[in-house]
Amino acid sequence: MTTVDLTTLDLASLKTDLKSLIVVECDKDIEPGSIDDDAILIGGDLDLDSLDALQISMAVKNRYGVSIEGGPEARRALKSVNTLADTILNFQRD
């Protein structure tokens, strides 16, 4: 899969794309637009668990080229759509 050029990505489009990614990767039967930007992802109303977190992390790596490492970094990045988008937009390539 081709990674997205982060320099041309705008925040609103990224959030919309991330919501769709979450619905698809986590096999949720909801409309992506129904996910609030600040909704807690893991352990929140979406009922996502650690396996879902792994699926999201892998999809983000494949699509955006951004690695979300385990532990505190992953918990912070996967807190909400807003924090996930911020993590992607602020990613510094080596």
Q: Is residue 1 scored above 60 in pLDDT? A: no
Helix or strand holding residue 25 (H, E): helix 11-25
Residue 73 lies in a domain: yes
Residue 48 lies in a domain: yes
Domain with residue 56: its CATH number is: 1.10.1200.10
Our count of domains for the chain comes to 1
The pLDDT tens digits for 45-57 are 999 999 999 999 9
Residue 77 lies in a domain: yes
Over its C-alpha atoms, the chain yields an Rg (Å, rounded) of: 12
Residue 80 lies in a domain: yes
pTM over 0.85: yes
Residue 6 lies in a domain: no
The pLDDT tens digits for 63-81 are 999 999 888 889 999 999 9
Q: In terms of residue numbers, what domain contains 68?
A: 12-89
